[in-house]
Structure 1
Amino acid sequence: MFYNVLNFPLENTIPNRIDDLELILDDYRPDVFMVCELNNETGANTILSTLQDINPDYERAIFEFNTSDDAIGNQNELQQLIYFDSTKFVLDSQAIVTSIYRDFNHYQLIINSVEQTTDPIIIDFVVCHLKASSGEANEDFRLQMVDDVLEYIDNFQGVRNIVLAGDFNIYSSSEPAFQRLIDPFGNLIFTDPADRIGSWHNNSNFVDVMTQSTRTETGLGGASGGFDDRFDFIMTSENMSSNPEISFIPGSYNVYGNNENTDCYNQSIKSSDCDGAEFSFAIRDALYNFSDHLPVTLELQTNQSLSIPKINAPQMLTISGSNLIDNMLTLKAHASVLNNLELYVFNSLGQVVKTIDVNNALISIDVSQMNTGIYYITSSKFQFKPLKFVVNH
Structure 2
Amino acid sequence: MHNLKKLNLLFFLFVAFFGQLKAQDTLRVIQYNLLNYGKDVYSCDQQTNNRDDKNGYLRTLFSYYLPDIFTVNEMDGDEADVKYLLDSALNVNGRTQYAQAVFSGDYLVNMLYYNTNKLALKWQDNLFLGNTERDANFYRLYYKSPDLADGADTVFINYVVVHLKAGSEASDISTRAAETQDIMAELERMGWNGNVIFSGDCNLYNSDEQAFQNLVAPSDISYSFYDPIGQEGNWHSNSDFALYHTQSTHSVSGCASGGGMDDRFDFILVQEDLLNNTNNLSYKEGSYEAIGQDGQHFNQSLLDGSNADYPADLVTALYNNSDHLPVTMQLVVDQTATGINDIADIGVRLLGNPVSGVIKMEVQAQLPQFSYHLFSISGNAVKSGVVYPSRGTTVSIPTGKLAAGIYLLKLKIANRAPVTFKVILQ
TM-score, L = length of structure 2 = 0.68
Whether 1:146 and 2:180 are equivalent positions in the alignment is yes
Match of 2:316 in 1: 285
Higher mean C-alpha displacement, 295-304 vs 239-248 = 239-248
Pair 1:241–1:214, CA change in 2 (3 A): same
3-state SS in 2 of match to 1:214: coil
Whether 1:53 and 2:92 are equivalent positions in the alignment is yes
CA–CA distance in structure 2, aligned partners of residues 119 and 111 of structure 1: 10
Match of 1:105 in 2: 137
CA–CA distance in structure 2, aligned partners of residues 299 and 30 of structure 1: 9
Which of these residues, 232, 236, 241, is aligned with residue 197 of structure 1?
232
Alignment of 1:123-272 (within 5 A): 123-157=157-191, 159-183=193-217, 185-187=219-221, 188-219=223-254, 221-244=255-278, 245-261=280-296, 264-272=297-305
Uncovered stretches (5+) of structure 2, i.e. residues with no partner: 1-29, 338-371, 379-397, 404-422
Are the equivalent residues in 2 in contact too, given 1:287–1:294 (CA < 8 A)? yes
Match of 2:72 in 1: 35
State the AA in 2 paired with 1:63.
Answer: F
| Residue 128 of structure 1, CA deviation | 0.3
CA–CA distance in structure 1, aligned partners of residues 199 and 376 of structure 2: 35
Q: Deviations over 1:187-231 (max 9, x none)?
A: 411010121011010001101110000001332x13111110000
3-state SS in 2 of match to 1:293: coil
Alignment of 1:44-83 (within 5 A): 44-49=82-87, 50-54=89-93, 55-65=95-105, 76-83=106-113
State the AA in 1 paired with 2:142.
Answer: I
**Structure 1 stretches of 4+ moved >4 Å:** 305-309
CA–CA distance in structure 1, aligned partners of residues 374 and 38 of structure 2: 36
Higher mean C-alpha displacement, 83-92 vs 6-15 = 6-15
Tell me the C-alpha RMSD between the 2 structures: 2.4
Whether 1:85 and 2:115 are equivalent positions in the alignment is yes
CA–CA distance in structure 2, aligned partners of residues 284 and 305 of structure 1: 40
Match of 1:3 in 2: 32
Pair 1:63–1:312, CA change in 2 (3 A): closer
| Residue 336 of structure 1, CA deviation | 1.8
TM-score, L = length of structure 1 = 0.73
Are the equivalent residues in 1 in contact too, given 2:146–2:375 (CA < 8 A)? no
| Residue 165 of structure 1, CA deviation | 0.2
CA–CA distance in structure 2, aligned partners of residues 308 and 201 of structure 1: 52
3-state SS in 2 of match to 1:336: coil
Pair 1:309–1:208, CA change in 2 (3 A): farther
3-state SS in 2 of match to 1:173: coil
Whether 1:336 and 2:376 are equivalent positions in the alignment is no
Pair 1:64–1:158, CA change in 2 (3 A): closer
Match of 2:391 in 1: none
Q: Deviations over 1:91-112 (max 9, x none)?
A: 0011011212111011100011
3-state SS in 1 of match to 2:182: helix
CA–CA distance in structure 1, aligned partners of residues 399 and 284 of structure 2: 36
CA–CA distance in structure 2, aligned partners of residues 305 and 237 of structure 1: 23
| Residue 158 of structure 1, CA deviation | 6.8
Q: Provide the identity percentage.
A: 32
Are the equivalent residues in 2 in contact too, given 1:194–1:254 (CA < 8 A)? no
Are the equivalent residues in 1 in contact too, given 2:251–2:301 (CA < 8 A)? yes
CA–CA distance in structure 2, aligned partners of residues 247 and 335 of structure 1: 33
3-state SS in 2 of match to 1:251: coil
Higher mean C-alpha displacement, 205-214 vs 17-26 = 17-26
Pair 1:309–1:207, CA change in 2 (3 A): farther
CA–CA distance in structure 2, aligned partners of residues 92 and 60 of structure 1: 12
| Residue 305 of structure 1, CA deviation | 5.6
State the structure with more CA Rg: 2
Q: Deviations over 1:249-276 (max 9, x none)?
A: 1111110111122xx1011112225x12
| Residue 45 of structure 1, CA deviation | 1.1
3-state SS in 2 of match to 1:119: coil
CA–CA distance in structure 2, aligned partners of residues 190 and 45 of structure 1: 31
3-state SS in 2 of match to 1:34: strand
Pair 1:312–1:89, CA change in 2 (3 A): closer
